[in-house]
Structure 1
Amino acid sequence: MQQLDPKLELPRSPRPLIESNPAAEPYPVRALGGVLGPAVERMAEVIGVPQALAAQSVLAASALAAQGHVGLRLDGRNYPLSLYLITVAASGDRKTAADRFALLPARQWEREQWQRYREQLARYRIAQRQAQRINPAEPAPTINVPLEAEPSAPRLITTDPTIEALIKGLCHDLPSMGLFCDEGGQFLGSSTMNRDNRLKAITTLSSLWDGSPIDRARSMAGESLRAYDRRLSLHLMLQPYLAMQLLSDPLLQGQGILGRCLMTWPTSLAGQRSYQAVDLSKDAALKRYHHRLSALFHQPWSLSADGALRLSPLNLSPLARRRWIDLHDAIEAQLGEFGELASVRPSGSKAADNLLRVAGILAVVEENGVVEVDHIQRASALVGYYLTEIQRLTEQEPVCRVKEEADRLLRWLQVKEWKRFSIRELNRNGPRFARKSSRHAAKLLVELIDHQWLVTDGHTFEVRHVQS
C-alpha cells in the first residue's frame, strides 16, 4: 500500500473509480398527450417516482386497453398495438405503487369479471351434475340437459406464467392479455426462463409481439393448438443486477427479444421524496386517465367463432403516412455499419414498428378514428427517447461492485468530513455497507489507495480532498 511519507513527492492526481456515463435524458412527457401526460406527471410528483417509470406503467396499461379492439393497418400490413416494456429500478423505488395506479382500471375490470366468472362456473357445475345423473339400468343420462361451454377464466393480467399456461390462456380464456410483473426477477427466475425452456419462451414471446398465429403441434390429443389474432403486452420491472444480466445475455440479444422492448433505467429519487398529502384517486388528471382506460376495458371485444379478436382497422391520414415513411427511412439509414444506430441495431430495426404502435395507442386513447401526423410526431419523440436510452445502457462499461462501493465510501468520507481515520474507526462508525466485515472494508480502502484518493502510513488513512 502507498505510504504517507512527507519526504516523498505528493502522489499523482486521483483517478475516478467509476467512469462517468451519460445521464438519462428527461422523459418527453408532453409527447404522451392530454390524457396520459398529465396522469404521468401527477403520479411522478405524488408517488415520488421518475417520470420515465410512471410513463412505462401508463403506456403498458394503455397498450393492454387498446390492443384487443384495434389493429393498425398500413399498405396492406397489419400492426398490433401491443407493447413490450422493461423498466429498471431498485427495491424501494416505488415500482409497485406506480403500477398499482396505472393498472387500476384493468384491475377493477378483472375483479368484476372474476365475480361474474364464479357465478357462471357455479351454474355450469350445477347443470353438469344434472346432466350426469345416471339411471343404473341405462348407460345414458336420464336427464338430457344441454351443457354450455365451461366459462373461461378472465385472467387479464398474469405475473408468473409458464409459456404453456400463457398460450393456453390466450387460446381458451382471454384473447388479449398482459404479462406484467413489478418484480421481474419472479418471471425471469421461474421455470419458464430456466436453461431448458428459455429459447422456447423467448421465441414464443417474440412471435406474440409480431402478432403471428399461435401454432403448437403435440402428439397428445387435445394438446395441439392453432389460434389467430391473439394479443399480448408485456411490462417487466427489473432490479439493476438483473438488467445488466439481460443486456449482456447473448441468447436474448441473438433472438431479438430485447430489440422489441422499450427500455428505460431512470435515476433513482431515493432520499429526495417528501410525503405528498394528496389523494390521487380524486386527482382530476388521474380521474380522466382512469375514466378513459376504464371505458376501453369495459368495451366488449368483437370475437370470431374461433375466439379470435376481430380488430377494428386504424389507418393513417395521408400526412401521417408520409411522415412515418420519412421517419422509417431515416431510421433505416442509420442502421448501417457507420450509422448512429449501428450499435443498437436490434432496437433500431424495430423502432419504426414501435413508433407506429405508440402512435396508434395515442390515437385510440384520445378517441381519434385515424392516426394523425401529430400522433406520429409525438410517437417519434417517445421512441427517440427509448433509442437514446438503449444506447446509453448498452454502450456503458459494466461497473465493478467493489469500485462502486469504494466510490460510495469516498463520497461518504467527503460529506462527513473524515479527513483522517483508522480502519478501527471505519469498522465502528463508518457507513453500514463498508463495515460488512473487516476484509470488505480493507478491499474498499485498497481501491481508494490504488486510485490515489487515500494515503496511509500503515495505521491511519488520509483523504485527499481535491478542489474541483
Structure 2
Amino acid sequence: MNSPSTNTQNPNLIWNFRPDFPTASLPPILQNVIYAVKANTQAPLVLVVSSALAAISLACQRHLVVRRPNGLEGPVSLFSICIAESGERKSTVDAIFTKPIREFEIAQEKKFSKKLNEYFAELSAWKIEVKAVSSAIKKHKKQNECNVSLEEKLAEVLLREPRTPNKIKLLYSDTTPEALQYGLSENGKSAGIFADEGGIFFDGYGKGGLPAYNALWSGSSINVARRSMVSFTLENARLTMSVMVQEKVFQKYLAQHGDLARSNGFFARCLVTYPCTTQGTRFLQNQLPLTEPIDTLHKRLTEILEHNEKTDVGMITLIFSGDAAQRWIEIYNQIEGRLGPNGYFADMKDFAAKMAENIARVAALFHYLENDDGEISLVNVNRAIDVICWYAEEFRQLFVPPPSIPAEQSDASVLQHWLTQVVGMQGCRIVKKNSVLKLGPYSLRSKKRLDAAIEYLAVQNKLVLYLGDRFGNMRFDGKTTWIDFNGMCQQFTPVGNKYLS
C-alpha cells in the first residue's frame, strides 16, 4: 500500500481558494473571546481559534470521555498545528489562552509544597514506627519468644507507608517523548505540549515521538521500557498538542519526514492550518482592549480545572442526544461514502478516517464549555461538523497536490494565448494550420498535440477548421487547412479577410 503523499512541491503551500473560518458556528462564549483576542492582538483569526480550542481541550481532557453513537469511547483531546511566520503574535495569543492554566499550575505548586512538607513529616514518623516494631521483633528473637503478632504489626505498618504527593504539571514546551511519558505518569496523567516556536518540536524531539503521541491521542495504554529506571505502563493518560511553526521549518519537516508522519496517522489526527498573515494591516486604533469576554472564558476554564481535582481521569462520560446521534451517524456515513475511488476524500483518507471522531470531540468540548450537564445537543454536533469540515479543507490545501491539468487543456490554453495575443494583435482572425506547426509555440509543433488542442477549443466553439485556397477563401476542394479563431478575438475588427500566412 502506498503511503499518502505530501504536498511538498508547492513553495507557498496554499494553492487554491480558501473559505473563511465558520466563526458563527462556535458557541457564543467562544465567539466572543475569539473576536476580543483578535481585536486586541490583531493576530490571524484562525491562529486565535486554534489556540483557544487547544486551551479548552487541555482544561477538559482529564476528566471527560465522549461516547460516540457507534458505541466507541475516547478522549476529547485535540492536536493542533498552526503554520505561521515570525511576528504573527503566536506567543501573545498563546499566553492569553493559557493564562488560567498557568495560574492553576502555580496554585497547585503551592499546594504541592505544603503536601510535600506533610509527606516528609509523615514519612519520618512512619520510619520511627517501622524501626520500633523491627527492634521489638529482634529483641523477641534473641529471647526465642514468639513474635507472630509483631510480624503482623510490621506488615501492617509497612502497608501504611506514606505516598509521595503528585505534582500537577500541565504545560510542556521543550520536552522529549520519554520525559513527557514520565511526567504524565507522575504528574496527573494530563498534559499539553504548547510550543509557540514549533521548530523545537519538528527539528528535535517531535520526530521520534509520533507513535507515542498517536497512542495518547487515542487514549491507548503505553508500555514504557526504561534502561536506567523501572519500566512502567502509562494508562488513561491524556495529551493536547498546540504547535505553532514557521513555514520553512514545516516544509523542511515535510520533505524529510512528511510521508512517515502521514502514513502512521499523526497528521491525520491534527487540525492543521496555515492562516493568512495580518502583518501590514495591524494599525493602532484609539480603543481600549476588550477584557470581559476573555475574563469570562478564563473563569470557566478555572472552574473546569478545579473540578479536575475532585475527579479521576475519564470520570465523566458524555453521550449524544437522540437527534445529535442521528446527525453524527449521518455525517459519518457521508464521509465513509466519499473514501472510495474518485470520492471527495480519496486523496486524504487518513484525515477523513478521523473526521467523525474529531467531530465528536469538538462537540463534547463545546457542550462542556457551555454547560456541564445533560447530553451533547444537535446544535453542538452541527457546530463541530462545520469546524472540522473547515479543517478538512485546510488539510486538503496543505497535503493534497492540486489536480494535474490534462495535456490537451494545457496545450489549448497555450494555443489560445498565441492565437489571440500574437496573431490576433495583427488584426487577423484566421491562420493556416501549417503556420502554427512552423511558427507557433514550440510545444505545439507536434501534429498530434496541436490536433488535440484544436479539438479542445473547437468543442467550446472558440475556433473552427475549414478547407480553403491559399488566400483563406473557403473552398470544398481547397488544399489548405485554415483555423478561424474569431470566437476568441471578437474584439478585433478584421480588415477584409486578413490572415497570417
Q: Give the TM-score category using the shorter length.
A: 0.7 to 0.9
**Cα–Cα, structure 1 residues 300 and 271, in superposed 2: closer, same or farther, change >3 Å?**
same
| Alpha-carbon distance in 2 for matches of 1:313, 1:18 | 42
| Structure 2 residue 225 is matched with structure 1 residue 233 | no
| Structure 1 counterpart of 2:189, one-letter code | P
Corresponding residue for 1:180? 194
| Structure 2 residue 174 is matched with structure 1 residue 160 | yes
| Structure 2 counterpart of 1:205, one-letter code | Y
Corresponding residue for 2:51? 57
1:118-147 per-residue CA deviation (whole Å, 9 max, x = no partner) reads: 232234345546666899999979xx9965
**Cα–Cα, structure 1 residues 96 and 137, in superposed 2: closer, same or farther, change >3 Å?**
closer
- Contact 2:320/2:376 (<8 A) preserved: yes
| Alpha-carbon distance in 1 for matches of 2:40, 2:263 | 40
| Alpha-carbon distance in 2 for matches of 1:177, 1:65 | 9
| Structure 2 counterpart of 1:378, one-letter code | R
User: Given the alignment, which residue of 267, 283, 288 partners 1:258?
Assistant: 267
Corresponding residue for 1:79? 74
Helix, strand or coil: the match of 2:26? helix
**Cα–Cα, structure 1 residues 327 and 97, in superposed 2: closer, same or farther, change >3 Å?**
same
Return the offset for 1:224: 2.0
| Alpha-carbon distance in 2 for matches of 1:18, 1:61 | 29
- Contact 1:40/1:54 (<8 A) preserved: yes
Please give the residue correspondences for 1:213-362 in structure 2 after superposition, counting only pairs within 5 Å.
213-218=221-226, 223-248=230-255, 249-275=258-284, 280=289, 283-301=291-309, 309-362=313-366
**Cα–Cα, structure 1 residues 276 and 203, in superposed 2: closer, same or farther, change >3 Å?**
farther
Corresponding residue for 1:408? none
| Alpha-carbon distance in 2 for matches of 1:184, 1:19 | 17
- Contact 2:13/2:397 (<8 A) preserved: no
- Contact 1:247/1:253 (<8 A) preserved: no
| Alpha-carbon distance in 1 for matches of 2:324, 2:38 | 31
| Alpha-carbon distance in 1 for matches of 2:284, 2:170 | 33
**Cα–Cα, structure 1 residues 139 and 77, in superposed 2: closer, same or farther, change >3 Å?**
same
| Structure 1 counterpart of 2:260, one-letter code | L
**Cα–Cα, structure 1 residues 352 and 130, in superposed 2: closer, same or farther, change >3 Å?**
same
1:133-182 per-residue CA deviation (whole Å, 9 max, x = no partner) reads: 899999979xx996521222211111122111111121221111111111
- Give ranges in structure 2 of 5+ residues lacking alignment: 1-10, 137-156, 403-501
User: What is the TM-score normalised by the length of structure 1?
Assistant: 0.72
Helix, strand or coil: the match of 2:169? coil
Corresponding residue for 2:101? 106
Corresponding residue for 2:389? 384
| Alpha-carbon distance in 1 for matches of 2:38, 2:27 | 16
| Alpha-carbon distance in 1 for matches of 2:132, 2:319 | 64
| Structure 1 counterpart of 2:173, one-letter code | T
Helix, strand or coil: the match of 2:319? strand
Return the offset for 1:245: 3.0
Corresponding residue for 1:454? none
Identity rate, percent: 27
| Alpha-carbon distance in 2 for matches of 1:164, 1:326 | 40
Helix, strand or coil: the match of 1:226? strand
| Alpha-carbon distance in 1 for matches of 2:342, 2:200 | 39
| Alpha-carbon distance in 2 for matches of 1:296, 1:73 | 20
| Structure 2 residue 35 is matched with structure 1 residue 41 | yes
Return the offset for 1:58: 0.5
Return the offset for 1:246: 3.8
- Contact 2:81/2:242 (<8 A) preserved: yes
| Alpha-carbon distance in 1 for matches of 2:383, 2:321 | 15
Helix, strand or coil: the match of 2:299? helix
- Contact 1:29/1:51 (<8 A) preserved: no
- Contact 1:214/1:226 (<8 A) preserved: yes
Return the offset for 1:60: 0.3
Corresponding residue for 1:436? none
| Alpha-carbon distance in 2 for matches of 1:332, 1:32 | 25
- Give ranges in structure 1 of 5+ residues lacking alignment: 1-16, 398-468
| Structure 2 counterpart of 1:260, one-letter code | R
| Alpha-carbon distance in 1 for matches of 2:328, 2:128 | 63
| Alpha-carbon distance in 1 for matches of 2:46, 2:23 | 8
User: Given the alignment, which residue of 14, 18, 27 partners 2:21?
Assistant: 27
User: What is the TM-score normalised by the length of structure 2?
Assistant: 0.68
User: Given the alignment, which residue of 104, 109, 115 partners 2:110?
Assistant: 115
1:227-278 per-residue CA deviation (whole Å, 9 max, x = no partner) reads: 3222111110111112223444111111110000001100111111123566
